[in-house]
Structure 1
Amino acid sequence: PVAERTPLDFKLLLPQAPAVGDDGNYPLVVFIHGWNGNKNSTGGGVESEHIPYVEAGYAVLAYSARGWGGSCGSAQQLNPECSNGWNHLADARYEVRDTQYIAGLLADELSDDGTPLIDPMRIGVTGVSYGGGQSTILTSLRNRVVETDGTVNPWLSPAGKPMQIAAAAPYWAWTDLTYSLAPNGRNLDYVSNNSYFGPAGVYPFGILKESYVTGLYGTGNANSNYAESPDEPPLTQWYTTLLAGEPYTVATAKPIADEIIAYHSGYYWLDPEVEPAPTLFNSGWSDDLFPVDEPLRWIHAVNTMHPNVNAALYATNYGHARASSVDAGIAKASVREWFDFYLMDIGEEPGPVIRAKVQDCDSSGTPTYVADRWSELMLGEIRFEDAVGGIVTSSSSPSANATQSFDPITGGNACARVNDSPITGGLVYDLPMPDTGGYTVLGSPTIIADITVTGVASESMLVARLLDVSPNGTELLLARGAYRPDASGVQVFQMHPIAARVHDDHHLQVEILGHENPTHRQSNSAYTLTITDIDVRVPVAERPNNMQINKPAEKLVPAGLVSVALIDVAVPAISLLGLGFMGAFLLQVAKRARRN
């Protein structure tokens, strides 16, 4: 209906008409901008990024998502045509459907010689952050569209042409937006069914990433178009509820999570009956907003449901803070290679499936490890055990200096080193010095422990951090993770994945704290955690050496979760640094192993 329409501001770039042959049937690449962006934003609309695609024969679409820029952004709120132009927070029924609708219009459009402008079966989607999340929903839906009433239908152009996503390449994407913004710590990188509330629906609501969420809300409130009607997406109400903190109840927080799970997260649109498009995720190791375990959740599920679909990850230091743009060129080149193969049938099939470039904080150059599955990267494990353990109080936290430096908003540098102060009320473990040559931490540091909560478990929390300590005592944050524990029992949780070298004159330190405000919001409630039988497992790229590096221990899989299945032919992780021709050869071996 006209009354429900929203003006969308877009631009379309087309290849020059050929001297001979049809002017049309071009593959289409849609660039979707990030939060606080528009059709001209970096990652979503910079023409210098688009021109090489157009010159290679692609049609390129960039548009301002509803509620941003010329699509009813803050400057257009008084425009009568924008009475329904609210920001719906990457909703499958609105923003995602907008992309599908515009692509459908282009599929029905004819060029001057009467050829359809684009090929409706060769559509690629990419975008950074907010655009990456939408790209993930689009590839999960692939050939389906979600109507405004929530019903799901085949994706057809207005003239009735079947449409589909043929390839996707999200940057810095979420796959479960609720978990990204308020993690409960229950995600594990070795299971395939990482739903927010768990297989039985009993996991607690999580811990707000306060500094990030506050910043995102503020920029959107200033530059986007938030709904004032309770019948529209109440972003201000959601923010106020989450910022108020514990107790998060079935009446307050759960409806927010249920809505975001249902319509704003690509993981939950995966369907055993519908293959997603081949999808390449580019994620940053020290990205504190959408870390590497976000794409892993989606990849593991796709590997289980659709083992023949290429669901790939390139992890570098390119991402939200505390990551950076240092590896942007690597990431963008991988996306172009992806689209060339899947939309143009140019070149070799991209791969290997998992590529992990080690974070470089000393400009020494770092290797890239490749494997066919995530689990194959972690050939060894550093172990530390403490049967006695101790008490963690709700007030225990890092020093003010470490808090500021390691927060993504007030600090934002993944390579920052600080002088920290002793922690009271928490647990701190200094692991042994590495053997000669050091090792490479690669994966999700894991803690298994017997935890008893004195207080209300669903209002308690802990934060675990892995630090690199230099000879002069300065600390570098490698990984962190927040966890909402059960009332009692043996429990397992992980920090977000990292790839980093630990030199042999440094050592690792593990902290278990009561909070990390404002990076993770401090609970309103007081509690104590009695933690015993602590088993710290730090995955490394190196093989067991009968000294410090052990064979990875058997995983603890909580009830109802499904361990990621191993493939029949495993390709060990390979370091490509400095291998030249041999590195290229090994890449091809890894690709062939996956295809076979």
Structure 2
Amino acid sequence: MDVTRPLPGTGDTHPLIVLLHGFGNDKHEWESTSDAADGADKYHWNTHWFAAHGYYVLTYTARGFRDNGPQASYQPATPPGAAPTCLPPGGSACPPTGTIRVKNKDVEIRDTQWLAALTALAYPDISPDQVAVSGGSYGGGESWLQAAAQAGSEYWSDWPGLPRLRLQVAVPKYPWTDLAYALMPNGHPGGPSQAAAGEPYRGSDLYSSAQGAPDTVGVGNPIGVAKSSYVGGLYSLGTANGVFDEGSLSPQSNGPEPFTAWLARVDAGEPYSTPGRVDDSTMSQLRTAFSGWHSAYYQPGWRTGRDAGRTPAILSVSGWTDDLFPPVESFRMFTYLKSLDRNWPVAVVVGDIGHARAQNPPGVWQAINEQAWRFLQANIAGSRPASTTASSYPTRCTGAATAADAISAGSPAALAKGTLVVDFKGSVLLPPTSGATDPDAAVTDAVAGGTITSTSAGCRTSARLATSPSDGYTAVSQPLPTEQTLVGISHAEARYAATPGAFTAVLTARVWDVSPDGAALLVSRGVYRFDFTGYDARSGIVQVPLYGNHWTFPAGHRVRLDFAQVDQPTYRPPNPAFTAALDLSATRLVLPVRQQANTTIR
């Protein structure tokens, strides 16, 4: 644990900000000897910047992870720390203190609150009513949970004998808010709240896709499709740089969380439930734990805070090209909190940033951090009602976006002013293994694709001709008569009929921008899992939500749609023995666009 003190001459009392590291990282991630740090994500958002502006900064290594010391040239040489029985300090054989609980609200969330209170005790010039949290990825998911904790209680940190603290601002970066959905998206839209009689939750749309409805523990939609490359990669990273908990009962209140056993069950695949929508015991345990104890979306504190007038300010930053935690993780919370209180001070910023495939342009990060700094300063002395916005920066393969390219609107959906419908009217029969030999599967994967030298970080090029069908379904539109700028969550749509008897089916979708010379660039992707045990009818119309993007299709370019059941290694392929073939027809794309017109092409 490190505490960076404010520079002299910055006042007599000081705010406190806690900067939380990402999965597999440590306390050094946000530490810097300069304001610039890495020039991007950490630019003007690090210990040096905040201390120079009068803040105390708390950074610590989360339980379960080893502290490997500074890794970047701009990080100060603070001690790496070690477990109490670790000799020599920081040695590679040293076990970490505690075990990884993946931000369980009874464990890591309380760790942060306790350490913040200890910091306030050690430094009495910290203002107890001026506390903020921020962090990326693992720290972003926690930042949302910390805001939920403050909404639900008068004091954010309330430990006997320690100063009571109030959290005013959270700035989550590339976070999750529904961990079950983020790691295993099902593609089903958000549903109405089961609480709040007479006050319907306005989230039944693709901007609120979730594992279930708020006020539940993730109940309402079927188990989704595992993001295999990311789930496996994160588990490997956790075991290499830490120790997962494997079923401890203390101090969490939801029972044991055996992470390795859960992973084995996910790897085994379908069927996850039996007729009547009854999950098997392990999947039920995983669904409940990841929703109720690890995800901000399901916390009851939001309604408690609304009723008590506690509405902490939140600026959530997400990435259009982030395949791990896409923008829906921020969008669903914006929609939900604004449904509770239209003046809840919650804002969203989206760009080509975050986890891979994102390019993370430095200029975009610098503009976002400037916006985040203004937001923090406006609310650190006390969050207050506000008509906040959603802002977006475009994704570009050449010529990075700048601050001047940002657009904003009153909600994520309102960023678009019109609709482009690409009506392919195609049909295909997709067997359970369709897509297994697709040459684009590895290229488009966020993890594996980064090792293929023919691809750049955020702009993946198709490995096959745009007009040649592969193992699955491919359709290409006529050339666009005018420029069209996609901005928001689009969806691929089809009429479907599933063959009898099977429990499940999967529909993966990819959208490409095809230039006149035939080169195709990946624009977006998505997945939908059918569960015929009571969630999905065996025939009807399916809408597959895509992750979204802010992307300009030039005039003369064409739009390509791919459908398959297998998109490996990005998603775990369905078990063929339990999977129905899908007879698709009337295929089309519905793209929200910035242009003020509704256009249909074929």
Deviations 1:549-572 (A, max 9, x none): 89xxxxxxxxxxxxxxxxxxxxxx
Aligned to 1:210: 228
Query: Cα–Cα, structure 1 residues 533 and 223, in superposed 2: closer, same or farther, change >3 Å?
Result: same
**Is the Cα–Cα contact under 8 Å of residues 419 and 473 in structure 1 kept in the other structure?**
no
User: 236-245 or 381-390, which moves further after superposition?
Assistant: 381-390
- The AA in structure 2 aligned to 1:117 is D
**Is the Cα–Cα contact under 8 Å of residues 496 and 582 in structure 2 kept in the other structure?**
yes
* Cα distance in structure 2, aligned partners of 1:26 and 1:45: 19
Deviations 1:483-528 (A, max 9, x none): 0122322333311111111111321111111110110110112421
* Cα distance in structure 1, aligned partners of 2:515 and 2:344: 43
Deviations 1:146-188 (A, max 9, x none): xxxxxx9974143364422101111110000010000011146
* Cα distance in structure 1, aligned partners of 2:65 and 2:527: 32
1:11 matched to 2:55? The reply is no
Aligned to 2:368: 331
SS of 2:223's partner is: coil
Aligned to 1:293: 328
C-alpha displacement of 1:322:
0.4
Q: How does 1:76-475 map to 2 (within 5 A)?
A: 76=83, 85-110=98-123, 116-142=124-150, 144=152, 155-159=157-161, 161-187=163-189, 191=205, 194-197=209-212, 201-229=219-247, 231=249, 232-249=256-273, 250-269=280-299, 270-274=301-305, 275-326=310-361, 327-343=364-380, 353-363=389-399, 365=401, 367-385=405-423, 389-397=427-435, 400-412=438-450, 413-420=457-464, 422-424=468-470, 426-436=472-482, 438-454=483-499, 458-475=503-520
- The AA in structure 1 aligned to 2:328 is D
* Cα distance in structure 1, aligned partners of 2:126 and 2:159: 12
C-alpha displacement of 1:117:
3.0
Query: Cα–Cα, structure 1 residues 477 and 183, in superposed 2: closer, same or farther, change >3 Å?
Result: same
* Cα distance in structure 1, aligned partners of 2:318 and 2:566: 26
**Is the Cα–Cα contact under 8 Å of residues 167 and 279 in structure 1 kept in the other structure?**
yes
Query: Cα–Cα, structure 1 residues 478 and 238, in superposed 2: closer, same or farther, change >3 Å?
Result: same
**Is the Cα–Cα contact under 8 Å of residues 377 and 442 in structure 1 kept in the other structure?**
yes
* Cα distance in structure 2, aligned partners of 1:74 and 1:108: 21
- The AA in structure 1 aligned to 2:31 is G
SS of 1:509's partner is: strand
Q: 2:546 aligns with which of 491, 495, 498?
A: 495
Aligned to 1:113: none
User: 485-494 or 440-449, which moves further after superposition?
Assistant: 485-494
Aligned to 2:252: none
SS of 1:134's partner is: helix
SS of 2:517's partner is: coil
**Is the Cα–Cα contact under 8 Å of residues 494 and 588 in structure 2 kept in the other structure?**
yes
1:537 matched to 2:552? The reply is no
- The AA in structure 1 aligned to 2:528 is Y
Query: Cα–Cα, structure 1 residues 95 and 454, in superposed 2: closer, same or farther, change >3 Å?
Result: same
SS of 1:472's partner is: coil
**Is the Cα–Cα contact under 8 Å of residues 447 and 536 in structure 1 kept in the other structure?**
yes
Aligned to 1:54: 51
Aligned to 1:581: none
* Cα distance in structure 2, aligned partners of 1:74 and 1:109: 19
C-alpha displacement of 1:460:
1.4
* Cα distance in structure 1, aligned partners of 2:296 and 2:33: 28
SS of 1:53's partner is: helix
* Cα distance in structure 2, aligned partners of 1:247 and 1:328: 42
C-alpha displacement of 1:17:
4.3
Query: Cα–Cα, structure 1 residues 215 and 535, in superposed 2: closer, same or farther, change >3 Å?
Result: same
Deviations 1:397-421 (A, max 9, x none): 1755411211101114221223315
- The AA in structure 2 aligned to 1:392 is L
- The AA in structure 2 aligned to 1:196 is Q
Number of residues paired by the alignment?
522
* Cα distance in structure 1, aligned partners of 2:303 and 2:391: 26
Query: Cα–Cα, structure 1 residues 251 and 157, in superposed 2: closer, same or farther, change >3 Å?
Result: closer
- The AA in structure 1 aligned to 2:314 is T
User: 216-225 or 153-162, which moves further after superposition?
Assistant: 153-162
* Cα distance in structure 2, aligned partners of 1:351 and 1:368: 18
Deviations 1:254-282 (A, max 9, x none): 21111110110111115212144111111
5+ residue gaps in structure 2?
35-45, 69-79, 88-93, 191-202, 250-255, 274-279, 451-456, 531-535
Query: Cα–Cα, structure 1 residues 488 and 143, in superposed 2: closer, same or farther, change >3 Å?
Result: same
C-alpha displacement of 1:344:
5.5
C-alpha displacement of 1:539:
1.1
SS of 1:259's partner is: helix
**Is the Cα–Cα contact under 8 Å of residues 142 and 165 in structure 1 kept in the other structure?**
yes
- The AA in structure 2 aligned to 1:67 is G
* Cα distance in structure 2, aligned partners of 1:52 and 1:403: 42
User: 203-212 or 391-400, which moves further after superposition?
Assistant: 391-400
* Cα distance in structure 2, aligned partners of 1:469 and 1:222: 41
1:26 matched to 2:14? The reply is yes
C-alpha displacement of 1:299:
0.7
C-alpha displacement of 1:230:
5.8
Query: Cα–Cα, structure 1 residues 302 and 45, in superposed 2: closer, same or farther, change >3 Å?
Result: same
* Cα distance in structure 2, aligned partners of 1:177 and 1:331: 24
Deviations 1:88-110 (A, max 9, x none): 01111111111111112223334
Deviations 1:358-411 (A, max 9, x none): 101121757322111122211111113355633222222175541121110111
**Is the Cα–Cα contact under 8 Å of residues 390 and 408 in structure 2 kept in the other structure?**
yes
Query: Cα–Cα, structure 1 residues 535 and 228, in superposed 2: closer, same or farther, change >3 Å?
Result: closer
**Is the Cα–Cα contact under 8 Å of residues 143 and 164 in structure 1 kept in the other structure?**
no
User: 350-359 or 259-268, which moves further after superposition?
Assistant: 350-359
- Aligned identity (percent) is 27
What is the TM-score with the length of structure 1 in the denominator?
A: 0.80
C-alpha displacement of 1:226:
1.7
Deviations 1:457-492 (A, max 9, x none): 653111011111122222211111110122322333
Aligned to 1:569: none
User: 450-459 or 206-215, which moves further after superposition?
Assistant: 450-459
**Is the Cα–Cα contact under 8 Å of residues 213 and 298 in structure 2 kept in the other structure?**
no
5+ residue gaps in structure 1?
1-9, 111-115, 146-151, 551-596
Aligned to 2:522: 477
SS of 2:338's partner is: helix
What is the TM-score with the length of structure 2 in the denominator?
A: 0.80
**Is the Cα–Cα contact under 8 Å of residues 381 and 549 in structure 1 kept in the other structure?**
no
Aligned to 2:574: 523
- The AA in structure 2 aligned to 1:39 is K
* Cα distance in structure 1, aligned partners of 2:102 and 2:2: 22
Deviations 1:274-328 (A, max 9, x none): 1441111111111000001110011100010122112111111111000122133
* Cα distance in structure 1, aligned partners of 2:502 and 2:302: 34
**Is the Cα–Cα contact under 8 Å of residues 68 and 74 in structure 1 kept in the other structure?**
no
